[in-house]
C-alpha cells in the first residue's frame, strides 16, 4: 500500500498529535515547505546525491517567493508552517533529512521547477524510505504542473498540487490533518484577484543564507501570467491568464521590504511593463513615496520607449534584462514566436545607454531549423550591440512547451519520460535529449558556440575594466568576479555545477 492510501489519523502516536497541540511547539510545524537542490549535473555517480553539495558561484539565489506566498496563506488559515530552503543553505540530502527529523512535520511540500526535479525526487524517495507513512509528501511547482503524468511514473510523492495553489492548499492540508486520504492530483484555478492573496511572509528568512556572492536584494512580483507564446517556454502550461496586483499593494510590500532587505529590488514578473498603465502607476508611486530604490526587471525590448525609460530611470531602475534568444530576426520571430524586431532591440539598448541604465540580453542556442550562420549571429550579438552583460544557454526542452511537443511530433522523442528517468537518477543529464539540437549540429558544437559567445563578450578590456570598476569597493564582489572569470575561461559558463 502506498503511503498516500493511509489516512493521517493512522499515524503513530508521536506524529498524530493534533494540529492545535503542535502549533505552540517551536520547530514543529504541521507543514514544512522545501526548496530542493537545483541539479542539472552529476558529480560522479548517477544516483547518489547523498552528499552532493552545490559549489562554485551561485548567482541569483533569492528567497523562494512562491513558497512564501503559500506559507502566508497556510498561516492565515491557522496552520503552522516552516520553510526550508535547502538550495540556499547548500544542504546535502543528509542535512536536509536531518532538518526534517528535527522539525517533525506531518506534511512536506516540495516545489520544483525542472532543474530541481532530480533533487525533489531523491529527497521524496528518502523521506518515504526513512519516515514512511508518518509524513505525507506533496509535489508542486512548474515541473509537475506542466507534466501531471509525472505522477503516474513515480511513487515517492503522495500527492501533487498543480498550478498556482495558494488558495486551495490550506483546505487540502486541513483535510489531510483531519485524517483525510489525499487524492493523487489536485488541480488549482489560478487566483483571479491577486490582492486577495496574503503578502509573502519573509519573517523567517536569514539574509545570510543568500547573497553570499552578491549584494542583498529583495524580490517582488506585480503581475502573474504572460500573453506571449515563445515556443521554448512552459509558462502557458500553467496559465496564460494575465493578472495584476493593485499598485498600492505592490508599493506597500516594497516599503516593508526596504526596511529589512536593503534597497535593491528585483521585479520577478515574467515580463515587467506588459501593461504600461500598471507599470507607470507603480513607478510613479515609487517616486511619490520617495522610496530610495535601485531596481531591475525582465522585460521585452518593444515595450521600451523614451517616456517609459525616463520614468524607469527616475524611479531607480539600474538595469533592464531583455529576452532576445536569437541573433537572427527570422528565427526569433518566425520560429520562436518571440515577435521582437532587431530594430526594437537596438532602440531599447540605445535608450538604456542614453539614460545610464545597464542592459543585458538573454540568448539561447539550438532551435528548429537554426543554421550555423544564424547561431553565429547569436554568438556575436551582445558584443556587437555593446550591452553590459549577456547570458547564453543551450535551449533546454521543458515539459509543457511547444518545443517539447515539436520534439515529440518530429522526432518521436518523449522528453517528459526522459526527465522522469533523469529525476530517478537512472539517466544522467548528459544522457537525456534535454537540449534541442538542430539538424546540422551536435551538442558539442552548441557548447563550443556558448563558450565562444562568453569569451568574445567578457574577455574584452572594456568589459573587464567596467566590472572591476563597478566592484572595486567590495572584496566580495571582486572575489566573485575572479571565480566567474575562471569558470568562464575553463568551462565557458559562470558556475562549475549549474548549467
Contact indicator for 27, 103 with CB cutoff of 8 Å: yes
Contacts of ligand SF4 in 356-385 (CB under 6 A): none
For residues 235 and 480, which CB has a smaller minimum distance to ligand SF4 in the complex?
A: 235
Query: 211, exposed or middle or buried, with CB in 10 Å at 0-12, 13-18, 19+?
Result: buried
Applying CB under 6 A, which of residues 141, 323, 327, 400 lies at the interface with ligand SF4?
Answer: 323
For residues 362 and 418, which CB has a smaller minimum distance to ligand SF4 in the complex?
A: 362
Per CB under 6 A, which region of 222-230, 275-283, 443-451, 454-462 contacts ligand SF4? 222-230
Q: In 384-499, where do the E strands start and end? A: 389-394
- Minimum distance from CB of 494 to ligand SF4 (Å)? 20
- Minimum distance from CB of 119 to ligand SF4 (Å)? 23
Per CB under 6 A, which region of 40-48, 140-148, 168-176, 221-229 contacts ligand SF4? 221-229
- Minimum distance from CB of 276 to ligand SF4 (Å)? 16
Contact indicator for 32, 103 with CB cutoff of 8 Å: yes
Residue 164 is a binding residue for ligand SF4 (CB under 6 A)? no
Per-residue x/- track, 172-211, ligand SF4 (CB under 6 A): ----------------------------------------
Per CB under 6 A, which region of 223-231, 283-291, 410-418, 472-480 contacts ligand SF4? 223-231
For residues 152 and 240, which CB has a smaller minimum distance to ligand SF4 in the complex?
A: 240
Nearest residue to 356 (alpha-carbon basis) of 303, 302, 307, 317: 317
Per rule CB under 6 A, count of chain residues that contact ligand SF4: 9
Per-residue x/- track, 224-243, ligand SF4 (CB under 6 A): --x-xxx--x-x--------
Tell which phi-psi region holds residue 356, choosing left (phi > 0), alpha (psi between -120 and 50) or beta.
left
For residues 231 and 293, which CB has a smaller minimum distance to ligand SF4 in the complex?
A: 231
Query: 427, exposed or middle or buried, with CB in 10 Å at 0-12, 13-18, 19+?
Result: middle
Task: Please state whether beta strands 81-85 and 389-394 pair in parallel, antiparallel, or not at all (unpaired).
Answer: unpaired
- 200 CB-near residues (< 8 Å, 6+ apart): 65, 68, 69, 71, 72, 253
For residues 211 and 228, which CB has a smaller minimum distance to ligand SF4 in the complex?
A: 228
- Minimum distance from CB of 26 to ligand SF4 (Å)? 40
- Quick one: which H or E segment has residue 230? none
Q: Rounded distance, CA 37 to CA 497, Å?
A: 12
Contacts of ligand SF4 in 260-299 (CB under 6 A): 270-271
- Minimum distance from CB of 270 to ligand SF4 (Å)? 4
Longest dimension (CA), the chain: 67
Nearest residue to 269 (alpha-carbon basis) of 234, 321, 306, 191: 321
Q: Rounded distance, CA 390 to CA 393, Å?
A: 10
Cα 474 to its chain centre, rounded Å, is: 27
For residues 229 and 294, which CB has a smaller minimum distance to ligand SF4 in the complex?
A: 229
For residues 230 and 415, which CB has a smaller minimum distance to ligand SF4 in the complex?
A: 230
Nearest residue to 192 (alpha-carbon basis) of 229, 219, 166, 220: 166
For residues 128 and 235, which CB has a smaller minimum distance to ligand SF4 in the complex?
A: 235
**How many residues in the chain?**
499
Q: Rounded distance, CA 227 to CA 441, Å?
A: 32
- Minimum distance from CB of 20 to ligand SF4 (Å)? 42
Contact indicator for 186, 161 with CB cutoff of 8 Å: yes
Which of the 8 DSSP states describes residue 335?
I
- Minimum distance from CB of 497 to ligand SF4 (Å)? 25
- Minimum distance from CB of 27 to ligand SF4 (Å)? 38
- Minimum distance from CB of 236 to ligand SF4 (Å)? 7
Which of the 8 DSSP states describes residue 49?
-
For residues 322 and 454, which CB has a smaller minimum distance to ligand SF4 in the complex?
A: 322
Q: Which three cell numbers stand for residue 351?
A: 535608450
**What φ, ψ does residue 379 adopt, rounded to 5°?**
-55, -35
For residues 229 and 452, which CB has a smaller minimum distance to ligand SF4 in the complex?
A: 229
Contact indicator for 31, 170 with CB cutoff of 8 Å: no
- Minimum distance from CB of 220 to ligand SF4 (Å)? 17
For residues 91 and 228, which CB has a smaller minimum distance to ligand SF4 in the complex?
A: 228
- Where do contacts with ligand SF4 occur on this chain (CB under 6 A)? 226, 228-230, 233, 235, 270-271, 323
Amino acid at each position: 500500500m502506498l503511503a498516500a492510501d493511509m489516512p493521517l489519523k493512522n499515524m503513530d502516536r508521536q506524529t498524530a498529535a493534533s494540529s492545535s497541540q503542535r502549533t505552540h511547539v517551536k520547530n514543529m510545524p504541521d507543514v514544512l515547505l522545501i526548496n530542493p537542490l537545483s541539479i542539472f549535473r552529476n558529480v560522479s555517480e548517477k544516483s547518489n546525491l547523498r552528499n552532493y553539495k552545490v559549489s562554485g558561484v551561485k548567482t541569483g539565489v533569492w528567497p523562494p517567493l512562491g513558497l512564501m506566498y503559500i506559507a502566508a496563506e497556510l498561516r492565515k488559515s491557522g496552520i503552522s508552517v516552516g520553510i526550508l530552503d535547502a538550495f540556499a543553505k547548500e544542504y546535502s540530502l543528509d542535512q536536509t533529512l536531518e532538518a526534517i527529523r528535527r522539525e517533525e512535520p506531518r506534511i512536506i511540500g516540495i516545489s520544483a521547477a525542472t532543474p530541481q526535479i532530480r533533487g525533489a525526487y531523491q529527497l521524496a524517495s528518502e523521506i518515504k524510505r526513512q519516515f514512511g507513512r508518518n509524513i505525507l509528501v506533496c509535489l508542486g511547482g512548474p515541473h509537475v504542473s506542466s507534466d501531471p503524468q509525472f505522477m503516474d511514473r513515480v511513487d515517492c510523492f503522495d500527492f501533487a498540487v498543480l498550478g498556482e495553489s495558494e488558495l486551495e492548499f490550506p483546505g487540502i492540508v486541513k483535510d489531510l490533518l483531519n485524517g483525510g486520504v489525499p487524492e493523487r492530483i489536485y488541480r488549482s484555478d489560478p487566483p483571479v484577484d491577486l490582492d486577495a492573496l496574503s503578502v509573502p511572509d519573509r519573517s523567517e528568512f536569514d539574509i545570510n543564507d543568500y547573497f553570499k556572492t552578491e549584494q542583498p536584494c529583495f524580490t517582488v512580483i506585480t503581475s502573474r501570467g504572460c500573453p506571449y507564446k515563445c515556443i521554448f517556454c512552459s509558462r502557458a502550461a500553467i496559465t496564460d491568464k494575465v493578472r495584476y496586483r493593485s499598485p498600492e499593494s505592490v508599493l506597500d510590500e516594497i516599503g516593508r521590504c526596504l526596511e529589512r532587505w536593503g534597497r535593491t529590488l528585483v521585479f520577478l514578473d515574467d515580463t515587467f511593463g506588459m501593461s504600461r498603465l500598471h507599470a507607470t502607476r507603480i513607478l510613479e508611486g515609487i517616486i511619490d513615496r520617495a522610496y530610495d530604490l535601485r531596481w531591475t526587471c525582465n522585460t521585452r525590448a518593444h515595450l521600451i520607449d523614451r517616456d517609459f525609460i525616463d520614468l524607469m530611470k527616475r524611479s531607480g531602475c539600474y538595469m533592464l534584462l531583455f529576452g532576445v534568444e536569437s541573433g537572427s530576426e527570422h528565427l526569433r520571430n518566425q520560429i520562436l514566436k518571440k515577435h521582437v524586431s532587431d530594430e526594437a532591440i537596438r532602440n531599447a539598448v540605445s535608450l538604456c545607454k542614453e539614460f545610464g541604465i545597464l542592459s543585458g540580453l538573454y540568448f539561447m542556442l539550438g532551435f528548429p531549423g537554426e543554421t550555423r550562420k544564424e547561431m553565429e549571429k547569436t554568438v556575436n550579438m551582445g558584443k556587437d550591440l555593446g550591452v553590459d552583460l549577456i547570458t547564453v544557454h543551450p535551449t533546454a526542452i521543458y515539459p509543457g512547451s511547444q518545443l517539447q511537443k515539436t520534439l515529440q511530433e518530429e522526432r518521436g522523442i518523449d522528453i517528459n519520460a526522459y526527465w522522469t528517468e533523469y529525476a530517478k537518477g537512472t539517466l544522467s543529464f548528459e544522457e537525456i535529449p534535454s537540449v534541442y539540437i538542430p539538424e546540422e549540429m551536435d551538442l558539442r558544437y552548441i557548447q563550443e558556440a556558448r563558450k565562444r559567445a562568453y569569451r568574445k563578450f567578457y574577455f574584452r578590456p572594456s568589459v573587464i575594466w567596467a566590472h572591476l570598476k563597478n566592484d572595486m569597493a567590495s572584496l566580495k564582489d571582486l572575489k566573485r568576479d575572479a571565480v566567474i572569470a575562471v569558470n568562464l575561461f575553463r568551462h565557458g559558463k559562470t558556475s562549475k555545477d549549474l548549467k
